[in-house]
Amino acid sequence: MPKKTVKYQNILLLVASYFFYGCWDWRFLGLLVFSTLLDFYSGLQIHNSKSQGGRKRWLIASVTINLGFLAYFKYFGFFVESFAELLSSNGLQAYSNMLDIILPIGISFYTFHGLSYVFDIYRRKIKPTTNFIDYALFVSFFPLLVAGPIERATHLLPQVERPRSFEYCKAVDGLRQMLWGFFKKVVIADGCAAYASPIFSDPGNYSGSTLVVGALFFAFQIYGDFSGYSDIALGTARLFGFELLKNFNFPYFSRDIAEFWRRWHISLSSWFKDYLYYPLGGSRFGKLKTIRNTMIIFTVSGFWHGANWTFVVWGIYHGLLFLPLLIFDKNRKNVGPEAAGRLLPTIREAFQMIVTFTLVTIGWILFRAENITKAGQYFGGIASKSLFSLPLYSGYQALILFIVLMFGIEWLERRSNHALERLRLRYFVVRWGMYLLLLMLCLANYRQNQEFIYFQF
């Protein structure tokens, strides 16, 4: 479509986005449209209000309704069951029978899109758009609708409003990033899931060494799954002339926990920093309040992931790992590139990466466990004498080779936006041979009914 018809481009993309979402469950399209209308109208009212009180009332109304829907669909059952368990532990009989509440896919993501919009209008960082189609496309653009990245109106909305035309180089680069994302999802993540899922489902039946293998496979699984989705989303958006926020920056090459969180799920970390950490005071009012604000951020981040105490504990765990760096002013120590100017890291850097990855993997056990009891069982199994036995599983040699291939390519291309961005193999046959190899690996390892992990959040 010609760039002069940006209005019709946006209508086409909006219809495609709603169709995409409706393919999951068309009944929840109403919730998506209502949320979009709420924030669109609230943004106009906040901007047009003559008094600060009026601006604040519309902001509070928008935030309350948005978070109310999120709390109902995502956390209502959790709070009811937790309250029932509390009563039962005190000898009181409690009945928590209730209707199963379906969690609308992507509700956390599109809710945060809308909230960032009204917050930025309230802060006078942006003016509201008067074009509902443009705003609705910003909220529901299909590549990012169900699992992010969490976009800002300051970044994406201007791209929605300006004319766009097809650019061959951007499209090719987008296809490369999509191919790499599919490789990480289908070959790495789904391959690791085949081994990790049975272990986490019944950790009591496996040796300590096998539990360690299961934890490692889940660490690779969640990275391949979520960063793979982000690559697919960014690559798809680039086909239509959009540049989405980078969500992963090779996080397993981090040298401390602070650097890990600057590289992992970047859009969520920055969202909480801008809309929760800074309003709480950030680091402006002394070390104690900075520590308090930091722990709030990590706890809320954990709770954002789902209605389970394992996520809350996982968030607190990362907060506690972050605190020593914060207290001793080391949280901004590793902001420069790793192995700068060298092919390989120094021994010190390699040790830091191994330690950081180990700490992160321990946290992934909490994240993946079905409940706190099974998490404790998992850690207890690792701490047993069976840790020094041979792992039970075998037959994953090819998968390990693929994991090494993934990290090897990403290490060599760690200065790029994605692993295949600077693929400039001299010969056409060799370059396309690599494309076809990755594609064939995806087709050969495809498994049905393997959803992306972050669809549940």
Q: What is the pLDDT along the chain (457 residues), one digit of tens a residue?
A: 876 789 999 999 999 999 999 998 898 999 999 999 999 999 999 999 999 999 999 999 999 999 999 999 888 776 666 655 655 666 665 555 555 678 888 899 999 999 999 999 999 999 999 999 999 999 999 999 999 899 999 999 999 999 898 999 999 999 999 999 999 999 999 999 999 999 999 999 999 999 999 999 999 999 999 999 999 999 999 999 999 999 999 999 999 999 999 999 999 999 999 999 999 998 888 899 999 999 999 999 999 998 889 999 999 999 999 999 999 999 989 888 898 889 999 999 999 999 999 999 999 999 999 999 999 999 999 999 999 988 877 788 899 999 999 999 999 999 999 999 887 666 778 888 889 999 999 999 988 878 888 887 7
| Same domain, yes or no: 181 and 239 | yes
Residue 211 lies in a domain: yes
| Same domain, yes or no: 362 and 237 | yes
| Same domain, yes or no: 7 and 156 | yes
| Same domain, yes or no: 369 and 446 | yes
Q: Which of 47, 155, 265, 305 is catalytic?
A: 305
Residue 91, pLDDT score = 64
Question: In whole angstroms, what is the distance from residue 252 CA to residue 106 CA?
Answer: 26
Question: In whole angstroms, what is the distance from residue 143 CA to residue 274 CA?
Answer: 24
| Same domain, yes or no: 172 and 85 | no
| Same domain, yes or no: 143 and 178 | no
Give the Å distances, CA to CA, from 412 to 123, 266, 343, 354: 42, 21, 8, 18
pTM above 0.95, yes or no: no
Instruction: Tell which of 133, 161, 189 closes a domain.
Output: 161
| Cβ neighbours for 204, distance < 8 A, ≥ 6 positions apart | 377, 381
Residue 356, pLDDT score = 98
| Same domain, yes or no: 71 and 180 | no
Residue 391 lies in a domain: yes
Instruction: Tell which of 161, 177, 192 closes a domain.
Output: 161
- Sequence-ordered alpha helix ranges (H) in 305-371: 309-327, 347-368
Instruction: Tell which of 161, 179, 201 closes a domain.
Output: 161
Q: Is 265 a catalytic residue?
A: no
Is there a cis peptide before residue 203, judged by omega within 30 degrees of 0?
A: no
| Same domain, yes or no: 366 and 436 | yes
Residue 96 lies in a domain: yes
Residue 26 lies in a domain: yes
| Same domain, yes or no: 26 and 80 | yes
Residue 321 lies in a domain: no
Residue 85, pLDDT score = 60
Residue 137 lies in a domain: yes
Residue 302 lies in a domain: no
Q: Containing domain of residue 50, as a range? A: 3-161
Residue 285 lies in a domain: no
| Same domain, yes or no: 42 and 151 | yes
| Same domain, yes or no: 193 and 133 | no
| Same domain, yes or no: 99 and 240 | no
Domain count, the chain: 2
CA-wise closest residue to 310 among 394, 368, 229 = 368
Residue 10, pLDDT score = 96
